[in-house]
Amino acid sequence: MTPEQLKASILQYAMEGKLVKQDPNDEPASELVKKIENEKNQLVEEGKIKKGRKTGAIAENEKPFDIPNSWSWIRLNAIANDIGDGLHGTPKYTSNGEYSFINGSNLKSGSISLVNAKHIDKAEYEKIKINLDEKSILISLNGTLGNLAKYNNEKVALGKSAGYVVLTNNLVFDYIYVFLESPVFKSFYTQNYTGTTIKNIPLKALRNCPIPLPPIEEQKRIVAKIEKLMPLVDEYAESYNRLQKIDNEFEDKLKQSVLQYAMEGKLVKQNPNDEPASELIKKIENEKAELIKEGKIKKSKKLPSINDDEKPFDIPDSWEWVRLGQIINLISGRDIPKKDHLNKEIKGSIPYITGASNIDKNGNINISEWVTNPTVVVNKGTILLSVKGTIGKISILDLAQAHIARQIMGIDNMFGIDKKYLQYYIESYVQQLQQKAKSIIPGISRDDLLLAILPLPPVKEQERIVIKLERLLSSINSLYL
């Protein structure tokens, strides 16, 4: 159960008369209703409030549940001295006005937020003011429905999406506020709003809203009980959120643990008949030399040897530590001017991968732009890595070709390394890459990749590791669907 669901359950219980015990000595709510009627009639005679609109009796089908015998169903209009909304129009604003002009969007978490509120002067306020007092509750009637705030004598004027309810003196103010927070009221306005794109609670519906009204003493007990329970709900929310965070992180940590095992040579058994990785390195060096000779790749700068202090763990005897730059061709992306981007594919164009936004959490590539003048083209099977902004999104290109922007680097595996093994190594190394990212907009350099050290197994063991990893990671994913 989420904290929100727990709070809603408590408030629902309160509205149904199940949160505290009834006391047979309490004066029943029916007597309270009479007192409220007498008070309102007296205020009308004195000219302090206007005579309220008549509302019909509450039909049985309007009552969503049974309430205790000492309670009464009553309409909101019957227990309020006034229900209305703010100005239907635009006031004359002034930058240094002392009064804030607010709407329903300014009502948040029980109080009035003045963020982005415009201001009016006293003369303008006097034209549109509403007589609110400490028994007033503000409620959003338009757009986001049902947001509440207790009025505390703030210097505010209301717009039309800010409604107000001014309660009579014969009620426990906080009980009515609890009702307006409860699932009972939320269900009411969900059933009674108008509009589709922008939802609206009509004032007529608000005035007719049925309320389960307890005796005055029980109202006090309900409020006191809720005040004791809400701090416990807050404590529960803290624990719940911590557990959610742990749960959300656990999947990633589990995957990282499995990848780490694989990189340490502990995921599958070594086969003494496998050709050792040292022979694979010799073949790679010979192939690179031939490609340089043929002009197919450029000769790269010599990479420093790996010392023992750099090696984070021991690896099997048949494996070798290598710099990533020894076994890949690294391709840096380049931006193409925005004016040359196309929003649809045409003849002669190729997909343009601009950055991490093109790669989803499952490694799928989504294309929304194309170019006809590519300068950095990567081919199908190239491993793509986001290296600026969002660091570490990975995908293997499944398109024939694509141009990559500078937020992406391509890892071209030309030398017989299992492509999926190489991808899994990079996934295991992403956190270290993220730690290397510097500046306000995070980014990693070519050297951050080229100098990375990779534990290289024999080719046959690479294949076995990939098979085992795909089975294990698939099982982990299925647990979190």
CATH superfamily assigned to domain 3-237: DNA methylase specificity domains (3.90.220.20)
Amino acid 378: pLDDT: 94
* Least confident piece of the model among 176-185, 260-269, 410-419, 422-431: 410-419
Amino acid 95: pLDDT: 86
**How many whole angstroms from its chain centre is CA 324?**
36
Tell me which residue of 46, 76, 34 sits closest to 170, measured CA to CA: 34
User: What's the pLDDT band for 337 if we cut at 50, 70, 90?
Assistant: very high
Order of strands, edge to edge, in the sheet holding 156-158? 118-120, 99-102, 156-158
Radius of gyration over every alpha carbon of the chain, rounded to an integer in angstroms: 34
Tell me which residue of 377, 376, 378, 359 sits closest to 368, measured CA to CA: 359
Amino acid 436: pLDDT: 84
Q: Is 99 helix (H, G, I), strand (E, B) or coil?
A: strand
User: What's the pLDDT band for 244 if we cut at 50, 70, 90?
Assistant: confident
Mean pLDDT calculated for residue range 365-379: 94
This prediction's pTM: 0.62
Mean pLDDT calculated for residue range 105-121: 90
The domain made up of 251-479 is a member of CATH 3.30.300.30: no
Is it the case that residue 414 has pLDDT exceeding 80?
Answer: no
Is it the case that residue 175 has pLDDT exceeding 70?
Answer: yes
Is it the case that residue 416 has pLDDT exceeding 90?
Answer: no
Q: Which letter does DSSP use for residue 52 in this model? A: P
Start and end residues for every CATH 3.90.220.20 domain found in the chain? 3-237, 251-479
Mean pLDDT calculated for residue range 306-310: 92
Q: Which letter does DSSP use for residue 20 in this model? A: S
Amino acid 300: pLDDT: 80
Distance CA 445, CA 449 (A): 7
Decide: residue 167, CB within 10 A, 0-12 exposed, 13-18 middle, 19+ buried: buried
Amino acid 481: pLDDT: 61
Over 380-430, what HEC string results?
A: CCCEEEECECCCCCEEECCCCEEEECCCEEEEECCCCCCHHHHHHHHHHHH
> Over the chain, what is the mean pLDDT?
91
Mean pLDDT calculated for residue range 274-295: 90
Is it the case that residue 56 has pLDDT exceeding 90?
Answer: no
Instruction: Give yes or no for a contact between 342 and 370, defined as CB atoms under 8 angstroms apart.
Output: yes
User: What's the pLDDT band for 291 if we cut at 50, 70, 90?
Assistant: confident
Amino acid 475: pLDDT: 87
Mean pLDDT calculated for residue range 38-64: 86
What are the pLDDT digits (tens) for 463-478? 999 999 999 998 888 7
Amino acid 201: pLDDT: 92
Amino acid 26: pLDDT: 96
Is it the case that residue 198 has pLDDT exceeding 90?
Answer: no
| High-pLDDT (> 90) share of the chain, % | 74
Mean pLDDT calculated for residue range 6-34: 95
| High-pLDDT (> 70) share of the chain, % | 99
Is it the case that residue 480 has pLDDT exceeding 70?
Answer: no
Instruction: Give yes or no for a contact between 193 and 200, defined as CB atoms under 8 angstroms apart.
Output: yes
Most confident region among 233-237, 249-253, 291-295 by mean pLDDT: 233-237
Mean pLDDT calculated for residue range 45-65: 86
